[in-house]
Amino acid sequence: MDKYLQRLKEIYRAIDESYAEAQRYYSFSCEGCNDNCCVTKFHHHTIIEELYLAEGLKRLDKDQIKNIISRAEDVVRVHKSSAEDVRVLCPLNEDGLCLPYPHRPMICRIHGVPYELFRNFKMEYGDGCYRFITAKNNMTKDFRINRTGFYLELAQLEREVREALNFTGKHKKTTAEMLLSIFCSR
């Protein structure tokens, strides 16, 4: 699996570079944000991202893992019993910090700044997170991260991983669900 994880790392590196470029362009940072996007119910669709996240969690000790599992169970419970857009903190966020930061999934890296994405034969646009939009209200959103290439590369990588693992099912999980898979089903 190492060669696939390495390729994902490269995709992430390119995303981080684009994100940093957008941040510089807009003089935008997440510092002091009260509208933490770690409470968003993001879904992740790739096995390779779960495997990469699992790698990043290997350095944690038993107590940290126990706490993460407990928080993940709580989050799954809240998600199940609430509306789709319920906001509850990601189990990996501890004291405002992402525990496996270098291994966080793609959406956590790319969320927040304006983007464009070509899919389903049309171009989609996003204007950034709420804080970005309110802070940069008077700015033309003329710099957008183009997510298309990143999504295509990730999709291709995922296809190869599934083939290697002989996996044909669906993979759609929140971070909390991925954590329970990582710690409780392996």
In the complex, the residues that contact ligand SF4 under the rule CB under 6 A are 30, 33, 35-38, 90, 92-93, 98, 104, 108, 111-112, 129, 131-132, 175
Which residue number, 90 or 117, has a Cβ lying nearer to ligand SF4?
A: 90
Shortest separation between residue 168's beta carbon and ligand SF4, angstroms: 27
Shortest separation between residue 17's beta carbon and ligand SF4, angstroms: 17
The residue with tokens 């169970």 is 73
Name the token pair of 12.
């992430």
Q: Which residue is nearest to ligand SF4 (CB)?
A: 112
Strand ranges inside 78-186, DSSP E: 93-94, 97-98, 115-119, 122-126, 145-146, 173-174
Cα distances from 76 to residues 91, 92, 179, in angstroms, run 10, 13, 10
Which residue number, 73 or 168, has a Cβ lying nearer to ligand SF4?
A: 73
Which residue number, 84 or 122, has a Cβ lying nearer to ligand SF4?
A: 84
Q: What angle do CA 95, 100, 105 make, to 5 degrees?
A: 110
Shortest separation between residue 147's beta carbon and ligand SF4, angstroms: 15
* C-alpha closest to that of 117 among 126, 128, 106, 109: 126
Which residue number, 4 or 115, has a Cβ lying nearer to ligand SF4?
A: 115
Which residue number, 38 or 117, has a Cβ lying nearer to ligand SF4?
A: 38
- Alpha helices, DSSP H, located in 47-145: 47-56, 62-81, 106-110, 130-135
Shortest separation between residue 110's beta carbon and ligand SF4, angstroms: 9
Shortest separation between residue 186's beta carbon and ligand SF4, angstroms: 19
Name the token pair of 25.
């362009």
